[in-house]
Amino acid sequence: MDDLAELKQLYFQECEELLGEVERHLMALDEGSGDAETVNATFRALHSIKGGAGAFGLQRLVDYAHVFEALLDKMRSNEIPVTPDRVKVLLRAADVLTDLIRAMQSDTELPQDRESEMRAALETLAQGGEVALGAAAPAVSKPAVAEAPKAAPASAAPPPAAPAEPAPISHRYRIGFAPRADMFKRANEPLLLIRELGGLGMTSVEVDQSAVPALSDIDPEAAYLRWTIELETPAALDAVRDVFEFASDDCDLEIADLSPRAAEPAAQEEPAPVAPAEAADRPGDAPADLPAEAAAPPVADDDAPAVEAASPTPVKNTQAPTKENAAAATPQVSSIRVDLDKLEKVVNLVGEIVISQAMLAEHLGALSIDKFGGLAKGIEELSQHTRSLQDSVMAMRAQPVKSVFQRMPRLVREVASATGKKVRLVLHGEETEIDKTVIEQLYDPLVHMIRNSVDHGVESPEERAAAGKPVEGTVRLSAGHAGGRIIIEISDDGKGINRERVFQKAVAKGLIPADLSLTESQIDDLIFLPGLSTVDQVSNISGRGVGMDVVRSNIQRMGGRVSIRSTPGQGSAFTLALPLTLAVLDGMTVRVGDEIYVIPLANIIESLRPTARDVHSLAGGGHVLRIRGEYVPLVDVGRLFGVPNAASDASKSLVVLVEAGPGDKVGLVLDEIVGQQQVVIKSLEVNYQALPGLSGATILGNGRVALILDVPGIHGVVRGAATQARAASPMSHAQQVQA
């Protein structure tokens, strides 16, 4: 990829950020929390988009952004006041801008209509008119892709290139040049200008020093010199004037054309090195500048570009920079784009190195440290480097969730508009970084849950008003770190889950027996069951034939967990707990009977050897551990997995206290802790099949396979068994065990 194409990609990336900013500011204005600086910041962001678009010759984008920006300019000067209705139009206009940019990035053709409509709306507003937007306007829109890739953007095609043959016409100019003191104040240097004139042709320079006073009278900031330059050049008068562009207001300048054919039009100026400079200076024709100039020789005295410029075929706008590069030295690039597959390979290799390193460390244990001290030291260093290597690779893949989050406001707007609701989306923790692979898999579930919140959660404005709530509903989307995991929460202040209806529905569909008694949170969990949809008519908003069960299995596939919490009349909240990475984890290896298991370190709170006094049996079977006034359920890992010879009496063995969910603790009963190490996760689903209570497997240093415990999963399995519900029943959210 050449330098400019790469810069263009960078520009599009920047556009994404700027669009996010525009959106954020407009939302603030929409909520009434914006001020003058918010309008200003929106203007700046648009301005940057426009500036970049101009640099890359994206004329259509320049035009659109310009209209948009012009309106904002009037708004920031309060010529046109910011009103909620106008902000709504701006939001729509920003959506169209997004489509336009995405289409340009993917080089696809975008239909004109929405753009023209929006442009007209913006122009009307800018002229002080009003615009009413139809509510039906935003079809759930994707940029119209899939059309034939566009050839070179028509608008960017340069006008027919200049004639290649230099016109042998020579001009003679006499230039009288007398700088004033102001010129020096602005750091303009007369000698540079005279030197530049010298670059145009042959010069003879005379300096008039007659105005210079006696040394004692010299004012160091004044100007005393005056030059007369005679110039013989093929360049036209304009090119000569152009040299004095920056100085013309701060000097006395006279240019006389002494050429015999002074009337000659300036058409032949092209081969002169300053010609491009000149073309760009004419105000008003800015759009045409770039291609025209790109076609002109970048540097003087180089034949090749001139020949190329003469070619009658329109030059693609990416081609010009290539030429620019030819003239350039090495391009400076400080970031590169890497195929995710390649990164994936590195991650896997690092995983293998971690295993090999563990193996070496294991064998080292059998050797005498006296004889093999050097080896031990080497392996210790190796393990440190392996760890930094791993961290670095993981950091390469980490990305802020912002990239996914910032696509949501638009979704909310569209769903709200299609369902006639008023909804505000509040984002939190967009900077939280997650592994790229997790982010990619996050998009679909998030879209689904947010649609759900807007479509099913938030009530219609009338219902809300009747319930005494603000007419506008709020959906919150937040991300943050907790306990070595990423927690993402989607909450709304809507009506909450209608438990009776969910229960009836589940019974009617034969998913649960009618006489089953469930706690409230267990009923809420039913919505994750396949085949349960409480909406009789599947709306095309949340529908898509995908249910919450698919969301849950998607999240679980990446080692995450999703739970729901709902309060009737007050709203619901989905909580996603995701692993930081999908490839490795810090684990504690523990022995249960003859088997070795791995407990993710992130889950572990503490380990202890309880006394018999602290262990209590429950009426319905099972035990709880009393610790610091709190009761924690105990899980006998050996019994759970049918391991022979495993410890089962908690008071005589080891208990590892783990966190199964936020504030939700479980004690695992096992024989002993073996050690702590990083393990590379091998998927059970890929290599064998998914098993409840286990999240994967790993290979230990001695070559043995150890299973990785899925702590919240175990908790769910145990609880499911305790409440007689089906083994696959939805895993429940935090619930303190009552003693």
Judged by the rule CB under 8 A, the positions of this chain that interact with other proteins are 3, 7, 10-11, 14, 41, 43-44, 47-48, 50-52, 54-55, 57, 62, 184-189, 192-193, 195-196, 243, 245-246, 249, 274, 276-277, 280-281, 283-284, 286, 289-290, 293-294, 296, 298-299, 324-325, 327-329, 331-332
Identify which of residues 295 and 412 has a Cβ nearer to other proteins in the complex.
Answer: 295
Q: Read off the tokens for 701.
A: 């240093």
SS (H, E, C) 340-389: HHHHHHHHHHHHHHHHHHHHHHHHHCCCCCCCCHHHHHHHHHHHHHHHHH
Q: What are the start-end ranges of the H helices in 179-335?
A: 181-185, 190-200, 237-243, 275-281, 286-295, 303-310, 319-327
Min separation Cβ 259 and other proteins, Å: 24
Identify which of residues 17 and 117 has a Cβ nearer to other proteins in the complex.
Answer: 17
Identify which of residues 13 and 460 has a Cβ nearer to other proteins in the complex.
Answer: 13
Given strand 202-208, what is the order of strands in its sheet?
202-208, 226-233, 171-179, 251-257
Identify which of residues 248 and 356 has a Cβ nearer to other proteins in the complex.
Answer: 248
Q: CB neighbours of 237 closer than 8 A, spacing ≥ 6?
A: 171, 173, 255, 257, 266
Give the DSSP letter string of 424-445: EEEEE-TT-EEEHHHHHHHHHH
Q: Read off the tokens for 427.
A: 């984002």
Q: Reduced to 3 states, what is the DSSP secondary structure of residue 653?
A: coil
**CA 149 centroid distance within chain:** 25
Residues written for the chain: 739
Give the DSSP letter string of 504-538: HHHHHTTSS-TT----HHHHHHGGGSTT----SS-
Identify which of residues 179 and 560 has a Cβ nearer to other proteins in the complex.
Answer: 179
d(CA 407, CA 98): 10
Q: What are the start-end ranges of the H helices in 167-274?
A: 181-185, 190-200, 237-243
For tokens 């085949």, name the residue: 531
Query: Do 610 and 651 touch, CB atoms closer than 8 A?
Result: yes
Q: Could you give the C-alpha distances from 434 to 302, 394, 395, 403, 430, in angstroms and in order?
A: 51, 9, 9, 11, 10
Q: CB neighbours of 105 closer than 8 A, spacing ≥ 6?
A: 12, 15
d(CA 739, CA 737): 6
How many CB atoms neighbour CB 399 within 10 A? 17
d(CA 107, CA 456): 37
d(CA 140, CA 153): 27
Min separation Cβ 654 and other proteins, Å: 54
d(CA 503, CA 701): 49
H or E stretch at 157: none
d(CA 626, CA 649): 15
Q: Read off the tokens for 725.
A: 């519900």
Min separation Cβ 322 and other proteins, Å: 12
Q: Return the DSSP state at 651.
A: G
For tokens 């829109």, name the residue: 141
Q: Could you give the C-alpha distances from 468 to 31, 253, 473, 497, 572, in angstroms and in order?
A: 20, 76, 12, 18, 18
Query: Do 114 and 134 touch, CB atoms closer than 8 A?
Result: no
Query: Do 603 and 559 touch, CB atoms closer than 8 A?
Result: no
Q: Could you give the C-alpha distances from 571 to 416, 492, 523, 611, 675, in angstroms and in order?
A: 17, 5, 15, 44, 44
For tokens 């008119």, name the residue: 129
Min separation Cβ 286 and other proteins, Å: 6
d(CA 231, CA 402): 59
Min separation Cβ 287 and other proteins, Å: 8
Min separation Cβ 180 and other proteins, Å: 13
Identify which of residues 296 and 490 has a Cβ nearer to other proteins in the complex.
Answer: 296
Identify which of residues 223 and 393 has a Cβ nearer to other proteins in the complex.
Answer: 223
Selection from 622, 602, 637 nearest residue 714 by Cα: 637
Half-sphere exposure of 587 (CA within 13 A, CB side): 30
